Amino acid sequence: MTVSSHLLTAEAMIAAYNAQDADLYVSYMTDEACEAGYRGAVLREGREGVREGLKKLFAEFPENRAEIVTGCELGEFAVLYEKVWRSAASEPFEVMSIYSFEGDKCSRVEFIR
């Protein structure tokens, strides 16, 4: 089975997230990209909004990390099932993240919790 470029990009975004590198994370996104709840409200709008939101999150939770349990891709979408810890002592919570792509850049990430 061949791993697609969209799935590899989503995985690279999680690696940047775990390194708490907001600049690298948003480098994989379009200028108009956003993060949102699934079929819901936008949480962070535009590449700069995502960057600033992540910087605040990383400042609040310096031990924050996500572990990819599994991932798949279909067309212009990649989906990751993740476990996320806010601190080393906390219990993880589960997240499904849906990455939408325009060309080779991510245009939207939606979270199901």
Average pLDDT of the residues of the chain = 95
Q: Round the CA-based radius of gyration of the chain to a whole number and report it.
A: 13
Higher pLDDT, 2 or 81: 81
Number of domains in the chain: 1
Q: Which domain holds residue 64?
A: 5-112
Give the model confidence (pLDDT) of 11-21 as tens digits.
999 999 999 99
- Specify whether the CB–CB gap between 73 and 79 falls below 8 A: yes
Average pLDDT over residues 94-103: 97
Rounded Cα distance, 25 and 4, in Å = 18
8 A C-beta contact, residue 108 and residue 41: no
Domain of 72: which CATH number?
Answer: 3.10.450.50
Q: 60: pLDDT confidence band, cut at 50, 70 and 90?
A: very high
Q: Structure pTM?
A: 0.93
Q: Does 29 or 40 have the greater pLDDT score? A: 29
Percent over 70 (pLDDT), the chain? 96
pLDDT of residue 1: 40
Q: Given this model, what pLDDT does residue 83 score?
A: 98
pLDDT > 90 fraction of the chain, expressed in percent and rounded: 96
